[in-house]
Chain A
Amino acid sequence: GAGVSQSPSNKVTEKGKDVELRCDPISGHTALYWYRQSLGQGLEFLIYFQGNSAPDKSGLPSDRFSAERTGGSVSTLTIQRTQQEDSAVYLCASRPGLAGGETQYFGPGTRLLVL
């Protein structure tokens, strides 16, 4: 079956512009995670959706970052008024959900470059 997909693959934007990054999880996966990976660094947790529960937003670095997940499937990460320090790879991962499946499956990421 299809894996996690993300779009766009690469995004170049100017400082101050808003960007939207999209994630399509594996069908049936109820848990969805967003991470940020700066150049040569590990993964920084941003936000976590689990079913219909309120998302865990504890990793969002500022109020310029927001995310939503419509219909329990596709998720969009929005960065408003982008800054150069937002340049990074943004990874999305999904997981089967509460009943089991502790393994996350990752998408290929979106590389964001803010000029």
Chain B
Amino acid sequence: AQTVTQSQPEMSVQEAETVTLSCTYDTSENNYYLFWYKQPPSRQMILVIRQEAYKQQNATENRFSVNFQKAAKSFSLKISDSQLGDTAMYFCAFMKRGTTSGTYKYIFGTGTRLKVLA
């Protein structure tokens, strides 16, 4: 069964510094998608970045980038120039194909609570 592991329950970083959140997953599939979602205190889950497994190039979205190591089944998120607004819970998610053709299911990690310090 697929699993997603986030081994850092809590992290903190000084404003303007860089922080890396780790995520590992387990799967026997070759084609899949990986996501990082942010959940601020408002509770709204917001997509931060996504990665297609067949793409070797790491995804980047402004200050957010990933280090995707397919062989190691690792998908870490790097936040550069951290801002106070980055304070949130961050979830790593793996998308797998369901048993019915064309269906997809998602497995989420338990999250990392990130606090950006002024």
Contact = CB atoms under 8 A, between A and B. Distances in A.
Contacts of A42: 91, 108-111
Contacts of A41: 110-111
Interface string A46-83: 00101001001000000000000000000000000000
Interface residues of A, number: 25
B43 A102 contact: no
Main secondary structure of the interface of A (DSSP, over half): strand
Interface residues of B, number: 24
B47 A48 contact: no
Interface of B: 33, 35, 37, 42-47, 50, 91, 95, 98, 100, 102-111
Interface of A: 31, 33, 35, 41-43, 45, 48, 50, 53, 56, 89, 91, 93, 95, 98, 102-109, 111
